[in-house]
Amino acid sequence: MVGTLLTKNRGYFTPMGVSLSGGLRRHAAASIVAAMSGRRQIAAALAASAFIVAAVTTGAANAAKVSCPASASASAGPVQWAFSEIGAPQSGAGGANWSWTHGTGSWNTGAATGTICSVDKGPTIARRDLVLRVSGASTLSPRITRGGMLGVGIVLPVTVSASDDPACPAKTKGTVSLFATYYSTHVDTIALHFSGACADHDHTFSGAIVKVLIARNGAQVNST
């Protein structure tokens, strides 16, 4: 599943707010879509993010009051998850017509860790940046069907750790649900849900803009 997703979609993860030059963009894309297998591919996505942060002298810290961390904790368990989307939310836009939401982390024996970053833009709203900490009890659901596709889902518990949206303060709780289809055809989904204070950030994403990885030791997840 992992190899097909990265090769087919040619997606890559970069820190929030970073603008890449043509040469750097080609370098990042080439490093991730190289023919690798299993855990090495997820590690490559994380390494590429670190490389870009080191190479870009005008980093994300100057792009907004809230900046995405250069890396995320992703080594605590055998199941690793990573996702990225760039585009319009399918529902729950809250005035946003463009969003970049991405994250990385791991899952082990019913608990998840990691970091998720999100930025929203729209003609009627100011730019809104969130950093979410993933920590706590988490549900992994292998071999489930959504939209007629067989795959694996995971529900991640999140807490807002940084925000420049006054309506969505730090310490607000929520969940991020990921679904990654099996085999070579990927129809992945992402759903963010928060308590009332952050309701405008309740977004759902699907389609070609979404790329989700969920793998156990580099292989398809078929059991909890």
At residue 224, the pLDDT reads: 93
At 186, the pLDDT band (50, 70, 90 cuts) reads: confident
Measured distance CA(133)–CA(186) in Å, rounded: 27
Helices 22-33 and 39-55, axial angle in degrees (round to 10): 160
pLDDT at position 75:
60
Residue 32 has pLDDT above 90, yes or no: no
Query: Residue 209 carries which side chain, given as an amino acid letter?
Result: I
The region that residue 61 occupies, defined by phi over 0 for left and psi between -120 and 50 for alpha, beta otherwise, is alpha
Stretch (H or E) spanning 106: strand 98-108
126-142, pLDDT tens digit by residue?
899 999 999 999 999 99
Amino acid 94: pLDDT: 84
Structure tokens at 45: 């996505």
Cα separation of 67 and 222, whole Å?
Answer: 35
> Does residue 223 lie within any of the structural domains?
no
In a domain, 55, yes or no: yes
Q: How many domains does the chain have?
A: 1
Residue 111 tokens, joined: 């608990």
User: Residue 118 falls within a domain, yes or no?
Assistant: yes
Structure tokens at 96: 């946003």
The tokens of 223 are what? 């059991």
In a domain, 224, yes or no: no
What is the tens place of the pLDDT at every residue in 54-73?
332 233 333 447 888 866 55
Query: Could you tell me if residue 54 is inside a domain?
Result: yes
Compute the average pLDDT of residues 37-57. Answer: 39
- Residue 133 tokens read as 């900490």
The pLDDT tens digits for 76-124 are: 789 999 999 999 999 887 889 999 999 999 999 999 999 999 999 999 9
Kindly tell me if the per-residue pLDDT of 153 is higher than 60.
yes
Q: Is residue 76 left, alpha or beta, with left meaning phi > 0 and alpha meaning psi from -120 to 50?
A: alpha
Give the domain extent around 151: 2-216
222 occurs within a structural domain: no
For 175, phi then psi, to 5°, come to -140, 150
What is the DSSP code string of 116-175? EEEEEEETTEEEEEEEEEEEEE-EEEEEEEETTEEEEEEEEEEEEEEES-TTS-TT-EEE
Rounded to an integer, the average pLDDT of 16-31 is 40
SS (HEC) of 56-89:
CCCCHHHCCCCCCCCCCCCCCCCEEEEEEEEECC
- Residue 221 within a domain: no
Domain-embedded: residue 144: yes
